[in-house]
Chain A
Amino acid sequence: MKASFLLKFAPFVEWPPSALAASDKTFLICVTGEDPFGRMLDDILRGQRMAGRPVRVRRLAATDAAAGCHILFAGRSTAPDYAPFAPLTGQPVLTVSDRNGGPAGSMIQFVMQAGRVRFQIDDGAARSCRLKISSKLLALAIAVDRK
């Protein structure tokens, strides 16, 4: 479910033009830390297109820079210095994580509520990274931090 949500966030988010021009002609969804999706994510995203580009999945090693990604999901990690979002301050990357057990500081955090996947949004963080999140998505979030 979360895997499909990753892709579905994309239409409700507007990246700055620089983010789409600079990268090569793909829409990149990156996963770092522990990967909770496995093959399922690849199956969901296969053949999908976003913003006129084919969607690709890249799994990042701990040392890889996430600068070229459009969406970065950070899973759990046992690494002591695990702070996947720190180098991305000001970068137009939509950061996603689990609230429960995942790293802090992401723009969208998955929350389990009554057995369903919901999310809360830090719109202030997104805006500081020049990402515009549609009000429709904000309306659906269970909580929105607008600062």
Chain B
Amino acid sequence: MTDIPDRLSSPANRARAVVANVATPLTAVLIALLLLAAGLASAFQLERVGQIEKVRQITVQARTLASGIAAPIAFDDDVALQEYLNALRADPQIIAAAAYHEDGSLATGFARPPGRIPNRAPLANPQITGNTLSVTAAVMQGDTRLGSVYLQSTIDSLSRRVTRYLGIAVIVVLAALLIIVLAISYSSLRKAHQELQAEIANRQQAQEALRQSQKMEAMGQLTGGVAHDFNNLLMVASGGLDLMERTTDPAKLAKLKAAIRQAVDRGAKLTQQLLAFSRRTPLKPEVVDLRERVRGMDALLERSLGESISIAMHLPAGLWPVEVDASELEVAILNIALNARDAMPKGGVIVIEATNLTATADAPDRVRLAITDSGTGIAPDLVAKIFEPFYTTKAVGQGTGLGLSQVYGFARASGGEVLVDSQLGKGTTISILLPRSMLSPQQKDGGSPAVSASGKHRILLVEDDDSVAATVSGMLEELGYESERADSGAAALQRLERGSDFSLVLSDMIMPGEVSGLDLARRIGEQWPSLPTMLMTGYSAAAASAAKEGVRLLSKPFSIEDLSIQIVAALDKSRA
């Protein structure tokens, strides 16, 4: 059965998951840190620019002053000098101002605490000490130096400056926090999402596995009955042949032939249904005609239910089509029928009927498929339990309890429901209600009469089994074809090398030797592209691969009619 790979089990994957889970908050923290750093950097930059601006402003003031006092300082006009300096007192930020003579001696000046004026001209670059900024400027007239001025100004204290940036800082920090919170919630959502996805994948796989095991369970139930049935069919065939050898009465011979034919046909039908049944297929809803489908199950049902049970089908024409997975539908019917059989240990009749249910206020148009037995019935308190997986009333080894749960799953998956109507001692009716489909079912080709050869055609028959080869070449002869046999793929190729005067190559698919039927078909396609090939097989998996390559295929066992139609189609195509 399907093993369920745990997608998070390998160390590499786990590491990747951890990285993915950690990456988002990490990125967010990184972004938040970057934001903080950018905020700090811009604050510092603003601070620096502000300081430069301040220095420039005071320097300009000093130069203006220097230019203004050029004449007063040159000609010792203290009154005018004082007037110039006093003008600066109006600015509360200027805490000291002084003018110096050319020889560096103090001309005049003022200072208010904490300002202080030096006694000698301190010509230097602007200086910042604590919260004060000192600037000097030379007093020049033309290129003659007449003296110098000194200005001292306060700058905003650190706490005042910090207060100025506090608003921005709060916004930046909040933004950073927001990013982190968003990232954390995103990351937890993402983790939950991943877990959910892993969970979904696991459940899908488990469901798939359950579906197949339900099918196999039904299959197991079938096999015993089918093997027994096959023996009966073989008995009819071999006994019939024995009898044919001992009689020459044409009427008896015809009767025996008909019996053998019937037995073989039933066997063929049975194996075909079995193969179709057990094939592992994904759920593939198709539009289905219930009447045709259920009728097609007759042989399968008869053989698997045993001789004490008979089946009555009431399937009216004009049933609405439904859209379901056909093989699941068959499994569901079989499961219900098997339960019905087990409910009637003394034998009885199982009635399978279908009716159209016109839409009501609660429900749309539906088709009701009901399977009724006259068995022991189900106790009311157990009715709710019968669809639970692994619930069974059967002895260990006789049932797994998966049968009716498959029915329930099938009905739900098809958009329908299952109803149980049971009376203890009188019997049970299980109804599947399926919604009506507005599409029409695909038509299957009905049987057609055999078509004889038109004109002269030689066919190369490649078949390792002597008896099959004899039968098929007999059919070909009967249809009016000439045939030649090769007993392996390699032999067929050798024959074709000598001369490819054939209209068709009809080859078995599975043969001993290095060249299989499919290989042969490929080689012929390459070397003799105008020569058509047709493969025969009784093995479904091989048939699928042939169909994939577009090789014409004939499923064993086939009738002479099937063979004739396929040959005509193949020849038609090669001529076209």
**CB within 8 Å of B: which residues of A?**
1, 5, 8, 10-12, 50-52, 116-117, 119, 134, 136-137, 139-140
- Select from chain B the residue with minimum beta-carbon distance to A139: B71
- Select from chain B the residue with minimum beta-carbon distance to A8: B74
User: B92 at interface (Cβ–Cβ under 8 A)?
Assistant: no
Interchain CB contact under 8 A, A51 and B75: no
User: B144 at interface (Cβ–Cβ under 8 A)?
Assistant: yes
A11-B144 contact, Cβ under 8 Å, with A136-B70, A140-B80: yes
Interchain CB contact under 8 A, B146 and A8: yes
Interchain CB contact under 8 A, B71 and A137: yes
A75–chain B nearest beta-carbon distance, Å: 20
A99–chain B nearest beta-carbon distance, Å: 16
User: B204 at interface (Cβ–Cβ under 8 A)?
Assistant: no
Interface centre among A10, A11, A119, A134 (most CB of B within 10 A): A11
Sample of 14 further A-B pairs with CB below 8 A, known A1-B76, A134-B71, A140-B80: A8-B75, A11-B70, A11-B143, A11-B144, A11-B146, A12-B71, A12-B74, A50-B144, A51-B143, A136-B68, A136-B70, A139-B71, A140-B75, A140-B77
Interchain Cβ contacts within 8 Å, total number: 38
User: B559 at interface (Cβ–Cβ under 8 A)?
Assistant: no
Please classify how large the interface on chain B is, using the bins under 10, 10 to 19, 20 to 34, 35 or more: 10 to 19
Interface residues of B in 48-77 (CB under 8 A from A): 68, 70-72, 74-77
A110–chain B nearest beta-carbon distance, Å: 11
Interchain CB contact under 8 A, A11 and B75: no
A1–chain B nearest beta-carbon distance, Å: 8
Residues of B within 8 A of A136 (CB): 68, 70-71, 141
For the complex of A and B, the 9 pairs showing the least CB-CB separation, nearest first, are: A11-B141, A11-B144, A136-B71, A140-B71, A11-B142, A8-B74, A137-B71, A136-B70, A140-B77
Residues of B within 8 A of A1 (CB): 76
Residues of A within 8 A of B80 (CB): 139-140
A106–chain B nearest beta-carbon distance, Å: 17
Interchain CB contact under 8 A, A12 and B141: yes
Residues of A within 8 A of B142 (CB): 11, 51
A32–chain B nearest beta-carbon distance, Å: 23
B352–chain A nearest beta-carbon distance, Å: 125
- Select from chain B the residue with minimum beta-carbon distance to A48: B144
Can you offer 26 A-B residue contacts whose CB atoms are under 8 A?
Answer: A5-B75, A8-B74, A8-B146, A10-B144, A11-B70, A11-B74, A11-B141, A11-B142, A11-B143, A11-B144, A12-B71, A12-B74, A12-B141, A50-B144, A51-B142, A116-B76, A117-B75, A119-B75, A134-B141, A136-B68, A136-B70, A139-B71, A139-B80, A140-B75, A140-B77, A140-B80
Majority DSSP secondary structure for residues of B touching A: mixed
Interface residues of B in 67-97 (CB under 8 A from A): 68, 70-72, 74-77, 80
Could you tell me the distance between the alpha carbons of A10 and B143 in the complex, rounded to whole angstroms? 11
Residues of A within 8 A of B74 (CB): 8, 11-12
Residues of B within 8 A of A11 (CB): 70, 74, 141-144, 146
Could you tell me the distance between the alpha carbons of A117 and B68 in the complex, rounded to whole angstroms? 20
Could you tell me the distance between the alpha carbons of A134 and B74 in the complex, rounded to whole angstroms? 13
Residues of A within 8 A of B68 (CB): 136
Could you tell me the distance between the alpha carbons of A8 and B146 in the complex, rounded to whole angstroms? 8
Could you tell me the distance between the alpha carbons of A10 and B68 in the complex, rounded to whole angstroms? 17
Residues of A within 8 A of B141 (CB): 11-12, 134, 136
Residues of A within 8 A of B76 (CB): 1, 116
- Select from chain A the residue with minimum beta-carbon distance to B74: A8
B473–chain A nearest beta-carbon distance, Å: 131
Interface residues of B in 209-228 (CB under 8 A from A): none
B262–chain A nearest beta-carbon distance, Å: 138
Could you tell me the distance between the alpha carbons of A50 and B74 in the complex, rounded to whole angstroms? 15
Residues of B within 8 A of A50 (CB): 144
B24–chain A nearest beta-carbon distance, Å: 71
Residues of B within 8 A of A116 (CB): 76
Interface centre among A8, A116, A134, A139 (most CB of B within 10 A): A8
A113–chain B nearest beta-carbon distance, Å: 11
Residues of B within 8 A of A139 (CB): 71, 80
Residues of A within 8 A of B77 (CB): 140
Residues of B within 8 A of A8 (CB): 74-75, 146
Interface centre among B75, B76, B146 (most CB of A within 10 A): B75
Could you tell me the distance between the alpha carbons of A117 and B77 in the complex, rounded to whole angstroms? 9
A91–chain B nearest beta-carbon distance, Å: 21
Could you tell me the distance between the alpha carbons of A10 and B142 in the complex, rounded to whole angstroms? 9
Interchain CB contact under 8 A, A52 and B71: no
Could you tell me the distance between the alpha carbons of A52 and B74 in the complex, rounded to whole angstroms? 19
Could you tell me the distance between the alpha carbons of A1 and B75 in the complex, rounded to whole angstroms? 9
Residues of B within 8 A of A140 (CB): 71-72, 75, 77, 80
Residues of B within 8 A of A12 (CB): 70-71, 74, 141
Could you tell me the distance between the alpha carbons of A19 and B200 in the complex, rounded to whole angstroms? 104
Could you tell me the distance between the alpha carbons of A136 and B73 in the complex, rounded to whole angstroms? 11
Could you tell me the distance between the alpha carbons of A134 and B75 in the complex, rounded to whole angstroms? 14
Could you tell me the distance between the alpha carbons of A122 and B75 in the complex, rounded to whole angstroms? 18
B138–chain A nearest beta-carbon distance, Å: 13
B74–chain A nearest beta-carbon distance, Å: 4
Could you tell me the distance between the alpha carbons of A119 and B75 in the complex, rounded to whole angstroms? 10
Could you tell me the distance between the alpha carbons of A46 and B143 in the complex, rounded to whole angstroms? 18
B102–chain A nearest beta-carbon distance, Å: 9
Could you tell me the distance between the alpha carbons of A137 and B144 in the complex, rounded to whole angstroms? 14
Could you tell me the distance between the alpha carbons of A145 and B155 in the complex, rounded to whole angstroms? 46
A38–chain B nearest beta-carbon distance, Å: 21
Could you tell me the distance between the alpha carbons of A115 and B71 in the complex, rounded to whole angstroms? 19
B107–chain A nearest beta-carbon distance, Å: 14
- Select from chain B the residue with minimum beta-carbon distance to A12: B141
Could you tell me the distance between the alpha carbons of A143 and B229 in the complex, rounded to whole angstroms? 146
Could you tell me the distance between the alpha carbons of A12 and B143 in the complex, rounded to whole angstroms? 10
Residues of A within 8 A of B143 (CB): 11, 51-52
Interface centre among B72, B74, B80, B143 (most CB of A within 10 A): B74
A134–chain B nearest beta-carbon distance, Å: 7
B137–chain A nearest beta-carbon distance, Å: 16
- Select from chain A the residue with minimum beta-carbon distance to B68: A136
Could you tell me the distance between the alpha carbons of A116 and B75 in the complex, rounded to whole angstroms? 10
